[in-house]
Amino acid sequence: MRTGRPKARLIVTDDERQQLQALAHRSRTASFVARRARIILASAEGLANTAVARRLRVAPGTVCKWRRRFVA
């Protein structure tokens, strides 16, 4: 049985995915911007917030915040 609030569905278009991948992998991108792009890309794969947090070594609250902001 699942507990907690249901997470908002994250849909990324092809254009958005290309832009996020460019930000995530470009060497001149600020590290915090690249991290946010990686969070959104991993979340768009359908992973849970905790799995994304573990993979990217960030706090689960950080993943939740950026997922919510991207959806909004």
Asked whether residue 57 is domain-assigned, the answer is yes
Asked whether residue 7 is domain-assigned, the answer is no
Asked whether residue 6 is domain-assigned, the answer is no
Per residue in 35-48, pLDDT (tens digit) is 999 999 999 998 89
What domain range is 28 assigned to? Answer: 14-71
Asked whether residue 46 is domain-assigned, the answer is yes
Q: Between 26 and 8, whose confidence is greater? A: 26
Per residue in 9-42, pLDDT (tens digit) is 788 999 999 999 999 999 898 999 999 999 999 9
Residue 72 pLDDT level (bands cut at 50, 70, 90): confident
As for how many domains the chain has, the answer is: 1
Q: Which of these, 5, 10, 7, lies nearest to 70 by C-alpha position?
A: 10
Residue 1 pLDDT level (bands cut at 50, 70, 90): low
- Structural contact between residues 10 and 70, judged by C-beta atoms closer than 8 angstroms: yes
